Amino acid sequence: MSIPYRINDDYAEKNLTVGIKILQTVLGTLVICVTLISYCINQKSLVRIANQLITVEDEIDRMYDLYYPLQRQRIFYTIIIVCVLKINLLILLLFTEILVFHTGPVSWLTDVLPTFHVGWLFIQYFLLVTIIQTDFADVNRAIQSLIRINTSDLQLQSLYRTHIIVNNSTIHQLLQLRNVHCHLCKITEDVSSFYSLPLLFGIVFFFLTLIYSGYFFLSVLLIDDILNYTYNIGIIIWIIFLIYPIYLLTSRITRILIEVE
């Protein structure tokens, strides 16, 4: 249904725009299918990731006396804000489709649904990476707190003793932190492996959609007609809707790389 609708649509540059839009429609459908099939096939992997995260969270909660648990509150508010902004952008985009482009449900299924699906896939990956990055930050902060406490003790011992004694509880805490860090690294690998294929198709789909949106924006911008300003605003909203999840994910991956190092 989407491909005939796309072929029969009217564009200024028929061959180029229809070719891009047909490819975009096929790729969007393929992304949705690949994502759903991947979720069905790798369901056990997703459950294992969730169980591992719960285990790590419990281990970190038991070590809260080592550091101030401020990250949890910030991450909760971050997740809420990201999801609310995503929903608001979707509502704004639907209003734009109705008022500016005068499209109907078929166009929404062809354009908005695949874009929202891929964007939500990016958001979901962003949320998991955010939780993992927060856990890495908590572990690093716990290690720094433990080092500061024991450094002062070791300095006092070095003044009065020739042999420095390390407390058994300190060694036990370091082993706990090492285990948590290893679990987080394993979770990171599992999450990356689980989302690799859907994200690959999603990135290609977003890249193609951005190319078409940029092409359409420039083509409308070059037409000397005051009515085209409304189309430009609509296209800008589309571009923001596309770039928003990409920006969130890339910025969060940069942060988790810093924490892992």
pLDDT tens, position by position, 9-18 = 555 555 666 7
Helix (H) or strand (E) run with residue 166 in it: none
Helices 113-160 and 228-260, packing angle to 10 deg? 30
pLDDT at 261: 66
147-185 pLDDT, tens digit per residue, is 765 555 544 444 445 444 445 667 777 888 888 889 999
233-257 average pLDDT score: 89
pLDDT at 163: 46
Q: What string of DSSP letters covers 102-115?
A: ---HHHIIIIIHHH
Residue 118 has pLDDT above 90, yes or no: yes
Q: And the tokens for 133?
A: 């990055």
Question: Please, which pLDDT band fits residue 116 given cuts at 50, 70 and 90?
Answer: very high
The SS3 of residue 165 is coil
Contact of 86 with 247, CB cutoff 8 Å = no
pLDDT at 164: 44
Query: Higher model confidence: residue 1 or residue 231?
Result: 231
Q: What string of DSSP letters covers 131-151?
A: HHHHHHHHHHHHHHHHHHHHH
pLDDT at 9: 59
Contact of 259 with 141, CB cutoff 8 Å = no
C-alpha span between 126 and 83 (Å, rounded): 11
Query: Higher model confidence: residue 15 or residue 95?
Result: 95
pLDDT at 120: 94
Helix (H) or strand (E) run with residue 88 in it: helix 71-99
Question: Please, which pLDDT band fits residue 121 given cuts at 50, 70 and 90?
Answer: very high
Supply the Cα-derived Rg of the chain in whole angstroms: 25
Query: Higher model confidence: residue 162 or residue 85?
Result: 85
Q: What is the model's pTM?
A: 0.85
Residue 90 has pLDDT above 80, yes or no: yes
Number of domain units in the chain: 1
123-150 pLDDT, tens digit per residue, is 999 999 998 988 888 888 887 777 765 5
CA distances from 80 to 115, 123, 127, 173, 177 (A): 21, 12, 10, 33, 29
pLDDT at 5: 59
Query: Higher model confidence: residue 261 or residue 71?
Result: 261
Average pLDDT of the chain to the nearest whole number: 80
pLDDT at 224: 54
Q: And the tokens for 58?
A: 């419990």
| Residue 99 neighbours by CB distance under 10 Å | 10
Q: And the tokens for 147?
A: 């080092």
C-alpha span between 117 and 129 (Å, rounded): 18
24-60 pLDDT, tens digit per residue, is 888 888 899 999 999 999 989 989 999 999 898 888 8
Domain residues for the domain of 61 are 2-260
In degrees rounded to 5, what are phi and psi of residue 11?
Answer: -130, 160
C-alpha span between 192 and 139 (Å, rounded): 20
